[in-house]
Chains A and B, each alone.
Chain A
């Protein structure tokens, strides 16, 4: 009798149970209309961002499609070639609508990719720390403490000053400031799970350690991370916007929402509000929607709040 044979039916039953739990979770989630609405908005934004090249009138990153002769047009005006600019244009003659959709796409990609990588690193570090305990645990957690004691924006600024500009560099900076949250979160939930009987059973079966950690401990300690990750996506987007606003994030010819806002900031007082205003609204909607979804997820998953 090998462990694998033994595992199979368990996994099957677990999948069925998982399905039941998912349905249950969804009905709990759907109790809040606001959260469902926010989820809808978030899904719509992701869809729009994914389809950006096909639904926007202009590719704002392609310099041949821009003309400074069409710059700073008010929303609803037409350019030299008769093209309609629904939300106006910025100082380089970028169509604001296209720029916002592309900017949103960049912001979401950066936020989601950075969160996913940080989640993977943080989860691995946290669960290893929790399982082995002792010195390794202290070492890793002190590292996390040090990391968390610095303001995120400060670390990101320093990193970008060293690494230089670029979307990949921003992702690296965001990952470096975020992994510690996941490490801390999963460690605490894994410490609880580690004392459960099924882990003892797995250890009794002399399963390899990596198998216990990643097949048994990780899935059970994971749910709190979903909540943290959702909220952190919003944080990552906001942080990326901040960095780009400060002019050290993405390249200026490929603006994200934060850079679009920075570009328009100087024009706020002079009446050309649309350059900063609409990207600001887009950023606000994206972050609020994701946060609302995250909040509701937390409520659903927190047994103490169960009514």
Chain B
């Protein structure tokens, strides 16, 4: 009797588990999104999650190449005019049709988000005029040739004009007409304004606990396999892994490297890893005559000497860092953007370690006896960042430099780095535009606030050749020519050792064995990329 009952219970449980397994997907996130407003906070956890609710005109595929979404096609009519053909037959989740008016409304709303910690304005700033000759054609005007427009628009989620109470909107850079009052960020968080064209609908956003999505059966891109998706932010790595192993969630992102072997050896789970767009690199202070922490150079800034920078690059055994510190979950880098991405040099390989060569270069530069320096690093921002910095210190010590490592929490690190508190520092950069413009503009272009150049180049690296090639590339609309110019600019900066790339981070996902996941360079974790295993 008891035996029969427990069999029945077990069978029921199995049935229930199978039913739930087929329809519900539970995902453990490593960071919590700050809002459900797609124009509030330009941050990977937000953007990744909001792709479930909202579509963009153009989307980035798993390698961040552009592909049609709400726009079927786009082309530059002339240097400063773009024509977008919109996808017909798309409906918002409130039942209204998607038309050019919604795009215009979106362009009007993006600059109007209150208290945005990181605005999306940069993505629509180039647009000075928008018009719609018919509901599914959009003409965009820019002041100058602006080849990055499609890339920038791939970051802008499209809202519904009608659902938010707007009429036929007329675009104006200062004040659009007929746009009504724009919805506040809170209205998105409560779900009231969370109306999009995406594959899922928001059911509930409970801060600190979970985000629940429900399938949008009217989605234009085909029906999704999951009826319901639950995202749970589990920010500490240990509990996230434990949640997967105990079956609380079906998939987790950012598996800690030290736990990978254990999960890989468990037949109930699978792990995929993919190259990310994030480079971990060393950068120099070129501005100060005596950079902080540098001693024994007779008052000279050693980093202004290319031979010293080259010696530092040569002293580093990138393969050893990848295999010993990163557990193989990284790729040694030869430039600042992974070779699969737009504008990269496909043949850029990581420099080989050459200790004798490094010593020789240091001696030629007049530092045969080395000098002391402090290597600044965050200890909670990049994968194993402080461990990498210590390994770099070890390797630099081997060629005669005296290195001490100053590791600190990231908020402190970035504040001090921006004040040039270190002569040499370790940092990371994610190319969220998916092309070479991102690292070159931010890290290697001569700092110029007005032009938006060198925004993360506090050490003041400046190379006229790089600047000229980059400027030329940014004004070239032809994709092939632009890619070639980016590649040349990057090569010029790398041959000058303007910054020293170490490795590209890889992103890991672990999940139950009856699922598959397509890894993405943008580190997004999307339910759309999870499929039941065939």
Contacts and interface: CB of A to CB of B under 8 A. Distances in A.
B387 interface: yes
Contacts of B394: 63-64, 66-68, 92-93
Q: How large is the interface on A (under 10, 10 to 19, 20 to 34, 35 or more residues)?
A: 20 to 34
Contact of A68 (B241, B258, B262, B324): B324
A253 B390 contact: yes
B379 A247 contact: yes
Interface stretch (A14-22, A97-105, A208-216, A269-277): A269-277
Nearest to B324: A68
Contacts of B406: 165, 251
B409 A68 contact: no
Nearest to B245: A269
B289 interface: no
Contacts of B89: none
A270 B258 contact: yes
Contact of A92 (B256, B379, B390): B390
Interface in B308-329: 320-321, 324-325
A91 B393 contact: no
Given A92-B391, A247-B409, A252-B405, A68 B325 contact: yes
Given A64-B397, A165-B406, A271 B262 contact: yes
A92 B406 CA distance: 16
Secondary structure call for the B interface:
helix
Contact of A270 (B262, B324, B407): B262
A193 B329 CA distance: 68
A252 B397 contact: no
B403 interface: yes
B387 A92 contact: yes
A85 to B, nearest CB: 15
B387 A270 contact: no
A252 B238 contact: no
B339 to A, nearest CB: 25
B404 interface: yes
A29 interface: no
B134 interface: no
A63 B397 contact: yes
Contacts of B407: 247, 251-252
A67 B324 CA distance: 10
Contacts of A266: 237, 256, 258
B139 interface: no
A93 B237 CA distance: 24
Tell which of B258, B403, B404 has the most Cβ of chain A within 10 Å: B258
B256 A253 contact: no
B405 A253 contact: yes
A133 B259 CA distance: 61
Contacts of A64: 394, 397-398
A253 B393 contact: yes
B212 interface: no
Interface string A56-100: 000000011011110110000000000000000001110000000
Nearest to A166: B406
B405 A91 contact: no
Interface in B213-230: none
Interface string A248-288: 00011100000000000011011110000000000000000
20 contacts: A63-B393, A63-B394, A68-B320, A69-B320, A69-B324, A71-B324, A92-B387, A92-B391, A92-B394, A93-B324, A165-B408, A247-B379, A251-B405, A252-B379, A252-B407, A266-B258, A269-B241, A269-B262, A270-B259, A272-B258
Nearest 4 A-B pairs (CB), nearest first?
Answer: A63-B397, A270-B258, A68-B324, A68-B391
